[in-house]
Amino acid sequence: MKIDNSKLKRNIFIVGASSKLSQSIKEKYVNHNIIDIYRETYKYWVGVDAQELIHDFFEKEISENSIIFIPAAILNPNISNEQILKINYDLPLNIIEALKKYNARIVTFGTIFEKMGSSNNNYVNSKIKLSSRIEELVQDKHRITHFRLHTLYGKDYPNEFMFLGQIFSAIKNKTEFQMTSGEQIREYHHYDDVTASIYDLLIKDTNGVFEMTYGNGMRLKDLATQIFSFFEMNQLLKIGLKNIDYKDKFQNDYLKNDDLNTASFREPINGITEYLKQII
C-alpha cells in the first residue's frame, strides 16, 4: 500500500538551519517536526572519519519517512577552493554515506550554472562535482534529490557579495553602482515560490537532478535599470565599467521545466522591487 506522503508527519532535518533557504523550508514544513542543525554541529562532519559521528547524531530520530535537507553551503566563490569543497561536497557526501541504510530522502542544492560545465568559479565547480556524484548514487537506488537553483531573493538582507546585495547597498547609501555590461542572463526566484515547488515535488518522491527553471530569464542590466528607476535613482547606475570575472550565460534560452507547469512564481521585477522596498 502506497503511503500518502502529503499527509504524513515527518522528521525534517535541516543541515545549515540559519540560511535564508532554510528559513523558507521551515515555514513550508511548519506542520512537521523540524530538527535544526547549525554550523556548530555540522562543522565536524566534513572529515574522513565523520560518518560515525553523523550516524550517531541521526540514529534515534531518523526513519525512511524523514527528509534531510542540506542547504549548508559556501556561496562566495572568493573563498578558498579547499574550504568550499569541505562544505559543498564533503559534507553532503558524508551525510549520504552515513545514513544510506535508513533510505531517508536526502535533498541537496546547487546552481543552474552546473550545466555549463567546468568554471573558474570555485562555488560552481563544487556543485558540478556534487551533482555528478549524486547522479551516480541515484543509479544505485539512493533516494536523493538535487535541485539546481537560479538566483534567490526575498528573505532578510541580500548577501553583500552578490549582485542584488550590491544594488541594495548602493540604493540604501545613495552611492554609485558600477557594473559590467549586464548582458548576463539570470532568473530570479523568490525563496517561498521555490520551496513551495520543492514541497510538491518531494511529495511525488522526485529523484535525481532537477532544474528549477521557470523560463523568466532577463539581462542583468535590464534588472538593474528597472530597480534604479523604481527608486528614482537612475543617476547612480553605471553600466559597463566592470569586467566579467567568471564564465557566464549570455543567451536567454531558459525554458520552463514541464514539472513546474502548475507552479506559480511571482514576476521578478515586481517581486524584487517590493522586497527591496521593505528592507531599505
Q: pLDDT for 127-178, tens place per residue?
A: 999 999 999 999 988 999 999 999 999 999 999 999 999 999 999 999 999 9
Average pLDDT over residues 42-50: 94
Backbone angles phi, psi at 40, to 5 degrees: -55, -25
Strands 33-37 and 151-153: unpaired
Q: Is the pLDDT of residue 237 over 80?
A: yes
Mean pLDDT is lowest, of 5-9, 52-56, 216-220, for: 5-9
Grid cell 527608486 is found at: 231
Average pLDDT rounded to a whole number, residues 183-193: 98
Helix or strand run (H / E) with residue 146? strand 144-149
270-276 LR contacts (CB < 8 Å, sep 24+): 271/153, 271/154, 271/188, 271/190, 272/153, 272/164, 272/188, 272/223, 272/227, 273/226, 273/227, 273/230, 273/231, 275/153, 275/154, 275/190, 276/167, 276/168, 276/171, 276/227, 276/231
CA distances from 175 to 145, 166, 272 (A): 42, 10, 19
Q: Name the pairing type of β-strands 185-186 and 218-219.
A: antiparallel
Q: Give residue 6's pLDDT.
A: 53
pLDDT on residue 5: 54
Domain layout of the chain by residue ranges: 9-149
- What is residue 118's predicted lDDT score, i.e. its pLDDT? 87
Could you give the CA distance from residue 195 to residue 28 in angstroms, rounded to a whole number?
Answer: 7
Domain 9-149 falls under CATH 3.90.180.10? no
Q: Considering the entire predicted model, what is its pTM?
A: 0.94
